[in-house]
Amino acid sequence: MDKKEIRKAVFSRRREASDEEVQRSSEAIFSRITASSCYQSAASVFCYMDHKHEVMTRSFIEQCWHDGKKVAVPKVNGRDMNFYYIEYFGQLEKGIMGILEPITHCPGVVRNADEDEDAPIIVPGVAFDEDRNRCGYGGGYYDKYLSGHSCHTTIAVAFEFQIFDRIPSDEHDIRPQYLVTEKRVIH
């Protein structure tokens, strides 16, 4: 299968998944992450805002705040993506493709977090294989960001149905260090 066919298959399966299935599996994924030493020792965490039945991140972000961690989420700025610290969900607005992004046009409301390279980063994806090759959404935002910010511990999250035998990969594709599903951790 090529990446276009893989995306189509995964999007179809995500549409079929019930809200309860997505929530239950998301909770299992993030319970593995919050139990990890990488999470336990982190002062801050970078995380995406979920959209259209992706692995849900809101409860995880709330857990980060409860645990005293700073949280940064991405905003697309043209062809680039940057991360900004947020302290509550009211600091977000709909951005590209309707995905919630930090409100950055009000100085002092949110701060750029790109220099915080010690933070683990939770990476979304459409599909993965057991070698941690990743099929994203096609914009290249995470590959580009991570090529310029290579010190982050990268943790991809996915449902088991997003794992394929083989994902086509290119030279510029960045494989996450860890891939966490509701059933296992691959590294």
Fold of 3-186: Rossmann fold (3.40.50)
The rounded distance, in Å, linking the Cα atoms of 88 and 58 is 10
Range 96-110 burial, b when 16+ CB lie within 10 A, else e: eeebbbbbbeeeeeb
What phi, psi does 140 have (nearest 5°)? 75, 10
Q: Which residues contact 20 (CB under 8 A, 6 or more apart)?
A: none
Tens digit of pLDDT for each residue in 34-50? 999 999 999 999 999 99
- In this prediction, residue 12 carries a pLDDT of 94
Within 10 Å of residue 30's Cβ, how many Cβ atoms? 24
Tens digit of pLDDT for each residue in 69-80? 999 999 998 889
The whole model's pTM is what? Answer: 0.93
The domain locations on the chain are: 3-186
Q: Of the candidates 58, 63, 104, which has an alpha carbon nearest to the alpha carbon of residue 80?
A: 104
Residue 109: pLDDT band by 50, 70, 90 thresholds? low
The mean pLDDT value for 52-77 works out to 96
The rounded distance, in Å, linking the Cα atoms of 136 and 36 is 25
- In this prediction, residue 172 carries a pLDDT of 76
Q: Of the candidates 125, 156, 21, 139, which has an alpha carbon nearest to the alpha carbon of residue 79?
A: 139
Tens digit of pLDDT for each residue in 86-104? 999 999 999 988 999 999 8
Residue 108: pLDDT band by 50, 70, 90 thresholds? low
User: Are 134 and 173 a contacting pair, CB within 8 Å?
Assistant: yes
- In this prediction, residue 152 carries a pLDDT of 94
